[in-house]
Amino acid sequence: MLEQTDLPEKELLRFRTMCKSWTHDFNRVYQAHPSHLLLETEKDGVEENQIIKLDNHFTSSKQIQRFLEEMHSHHGNPFPGRSIILTFYFPYKAIQTTRADRLRLVREYYEKAIELLEMHGLHLHMAMFELGHGSSLELEPMETYNYFRRWLFHVPNLKKLVVAGHNNCPFLDEEQMFYRQNTLPQLPYLELVSIYKMSHAIWNGVLESSCVPLKVKRLLLDPPTRMERLRTPEAAHFPNLEAFEVRLSGEYLERFLNVLEGTLIPPVVTAAFHYCEDYQDFGRVFRGLEVFAGSLAFLKLCLRFTEMSSRNAIVSGFAINLPQLKRLDLLHFNGPLDPFCQLPSLKYLTVEWFQLREWVGSKVDIYGFEGRMEESNIWDMISSLQQFHLQSFRPPVVCKTYHRDMLQLSMDVLELDC
């Protein structure tokens, strides 16, 4: 029930009250550490952000009932990490039962979760509600939405909300009136919002009703497959946005990056894009990101674009105007590195190719230098570069990190040999 620690929950709660200094240190690390309100992309590779997070994870109504009984005499906050995960799993035997029996189990769990949040929800700062592990497949979309709405009313102090599922039901006209009359509650302290593959009603409701635009600093948006009537926000709608991770393409990407004249530009430091299809206009991402040129320091791109449409265009170049960018991760990449020589502050570069190869017209020498990267001209072409991580999944298979220090070491060796 309590994830990422071997200590029983009662022991953690008891130890936390032994002395004021221990209580302060415990709460600072496990409840209030800044890393708990970062996107996973921001934490990646940053050692000081690898802090254990204590989550109370409930997967059955019996488990919730047992927790309520154990905490009956406990006064104050019963969640050591002020964090909860609600995920309903069908018991193994229940998979073979009738749909009516499965519906009963789902509703029993959701009602018991309401009882839990009614009693203790005020103490929660972080919550993950997974509505896609069988439960939302059994319930009708409006019923799932209504349970989710009732949960939110009992967690008004949330700073982080993660909603995950795989609901791709279309947004029916007859349902619109219900959603308009039953809006989600506002969560005034919400700073980080992650929405994975949720129904249009929950997606739109969280972004338009639960979020206070001035408060939100971090967004992760992974839309359902059907995107018609999905109201994609503009990044500029959140004027204090510092980091975002999106799986958007085409018109939805352009809408997200759109900043109207006179609009306050958010101080975005970290941005990440993921694509599942071949991407035909690689430069469009960078043109859109130019609005954050004064602040963007870390960019992660997981893009696939066709070789035919991009080989010559990407080498001949498109302009990149991101002077503050210090770290760039290119995942599932399929092209040369020439355009990125325009980044004057780039220190850390990660490139994962499907297959490392020699690109016609490329001026950056990578192919053939896997075992002697100190001889590559990449260190001259990107003069600010300090670390280069290279990975190729097909022959020649490579997974290695190179540092500028080894270039100096190689020069010193040459001088000694002379």
Between the ranges 12-16, 29-33, 42-46, 377-381, where is the mean pLDDT highest?
377-381
Residue 166 has pLDDT above 70, yes or no: no
More confident residue, 94 or 15: 94
**Per-residue confidence at 178, pLDDT binned at 50, 70, 90?**
confident
**Per-residue confidence at 283, pLDDT binned at 50, 70, 90?**
confident
Residue 90 has pLDDT above 90, yes or no: no
Q: Is 290 exposed, middle or buried (0-12, 13-18, 19+ CB in 10 A)?
A: middle
Q: Give the model's pLDDT for residue 269.
A: 95
* Residue range 113-133: mean pLDDT, rounded: 93
CA–CA dist 148, 187 (Å, integer): 13
Residue 396 has pLDDT above 90, yes or no: no
Token readout for 328 is: 């760039």
Q: Tell me the per-residue pLDDT of 243-270, one tens digit each, with 9 for 90 and over.
A: 999 987 777 788 888 876 667 899 999 9
Q: Give the model's pLDDT for residue 121.
A: 97
Could you give the percent of the chain with pLDDT greater than 90? Answer: 41
**Per-residue confidence at 84, pLDDT binned at 50, 70, 90?**
very high
* Residue range 266-293: mean pLDDT, rounded: 81
CA–CA dist 137, 126 (Å, integer): 25
Please provide residue 118's backbone torsions phi and psi, each rounded to the nearest 5 degrees: -60, -40
Q: Are 344 and 364 in contact (CB under 8 A)?
A: no
Q: Tell me the per-residue pLDDT of 331-349, one tens digit each, with 9 for 90 and over.
A: 887 778 899 999 999 999 9
Sign of CA dihedral 149, 155, 156, 159: negative
**Inter-CA distances, 202 with 5, 210, 384, Å:** 32, 10, 44
140-179 CB burial, b ≥16 within 10 A, e <16: ebbebbbbbbbbbebbeebbbbbbbbebebebeeebeeeb
Residue 271 has pLDDT above 90, yes or no: yes
The CB-side HSE value for 31 (13 A sphere, CA atoms) comes to: 19
Q: Give the model's pLDDT for residue 380.
A: 95
**Per-residue confidence at 413, pLDDT binned at 50, 70, 90?**
very low
**Per-residue confidence at 190, pLDDT binned at 50, 70, 90?**
very high
Angle among Cα 95, 99, 101 to the nearest 5 degrees reads 80
Residue 1 has pLDDT above 70, yes or no: no
- Average pLDDT across the chain, whole number: 82
CA–CA dist 194, 36 (Å, integer): 13
CA–CA dist 390, 294 (Å, integer): 28
Between the ranges 103-107, 126-130, 270-274, where is the mean pLDDT highest?
126-130
Angle among Cα 16, 20, 25 to the nearest 5 degrees reads 65
Could you give the percent of the chain with pLDDT greater than 70? Answer: 77
* Residue range 96-117: mean pLDDT, rounded: 90
CA–CA dist 238, 242 (Å, integer): 9
Q: Return the biggest CA–CA distance within the chain.
A: 84
Least confident of 4-8, 235-239, 304-308: 304-308
Q: Give the model's pLDDT for residue 207.
A: 93
CA–CA dist 17, 400 (Å, integer): 47
Each domain of the chain, given as residue ranges in start order, spans 1-231, 237-418
